[in-house]
Amino acid sequence: TERIAQSLADIGSIQRKMEMYEESNETLKELFSLQEDLSDSAGAAKTLSQIGSNYIALGEGEEAVSALTESAERAKEEGNTKLALAALEDLSDFYADAEVYDEAIQVYEEILNIAMEDGVPDQVTDALRQLGRLQRKAGQFSDSNDTLSELLVLQEETEDRPGQVGTLTLLAANYADLGDIRTANAMLDRSTEVALSIDDVEQAVDAYQAKADLFHDLAQYAQEVEQYAAAIRIASQAGEWTLAAGSAETMGRRLNKELRRTDDAIDAYRQSADFHRRAGDGAAETDALRGKRAKRLFKTMPHPTYSEVFRNVEIVYKKNTADKKETTVIHRHVMANLHDS
């Protein structure tokens, strides 16, 4: 009988991997019935969790909720915390994907309680992080801040600095949505400081970009550009050319559209192209030079500058493509634009 149960479990698992969810559930229900006859409560709890996951894939929400809820209850009765948490996480994810955030939050509050009773720090921090994110998605910014502040304390106690960076960024977003820009800015400053202390350039750049977004929303465009400049400086010093290129391109857009600083915008686009070249991304380098925004800007400049830029485009494009036909097309495009200018 145990061999039959194992065979059914294996078949159900294979069918699920093959995305044969209905067939998998038929197999797993047969297994569940056998486990009930054998009084194998732990096995039955695991099977119910798998059945619930299949129902989610099939889009059958009511059946999924029923199976996952029963799986979690049975797992708790058996003292199987790991399985109970897994079933509840699947249940919360289902509610979150359906944007039923109140239910998702309620489930994660149960997860947090179980994790705290279990006394495993990683489980507690994970639960707090996910709960804070769900509360944010639900628009419960103050509740989310309470949860994330509790998480931040734990991360500081355990010296989890990478975790602190993400938490501080989320807190900043909440404060911004609450209209407390000063505190949001302070949180992002702390996030940047911690990120740089562990040489996490990507997170530091993200924090500067988040600060730039804050200033953009306040229509403080000069301060916004300063944040992009800081992001470029940090990324380029670390040799993170793709990150630097992205910030340079966005800065170019802001300089052009909001601040009307055409010369500086052109320099930013050129800088973006140079960073892409350093990153070995020829296609992106070409795009940066011949993009619509750049072309519109360069047309405002005297003929030599415009001519120079489009000749650069031609050179870069030839360098980065082996397609002679495409090179001919861009050559004609360059000549036409030079003629128009």
CA distance 145 to 114: 21
Residue percentage of the chain with pLDDT more than 90: 73
Give the pLDDT score at 232: 97
pLDDT of residue 297: 61
Rounded to whole angstroms, how far apart are CA atoms 15 and 240?
A: 44
Q: What is the mean pLDDT of residues 34-53?
A: 93
pLDDT of residue 281: 78
Quick one: residue 183, left, alpha or beta (phi over 0 = left, psi -120 to 50 = alpha)?
alpha
pLDDT score for 233: 96
pLDDT of 306 higher than 90 = no
**Spatial CA neighbour of 339 closest among 303, 305, 315:** 303
pLDDT at position 284 is 72
| Residue 338 in this model has a pLDDT that exceeds 50 | no
Comparing C-alpha atoms, which of 99, 117, 98 is closest to residue 109? 117
Per-residue pLDDT of 121-157, as tens digits, reads: 889 999 999 999 999 999 999 999 999 999 999 999 9
302 pLDDT band (50/70/90 cuts)?
A: low
Please tell me the distance from the alpha carbon of residue 26 to that of residue 178, in angstroms, as a whole number: 49
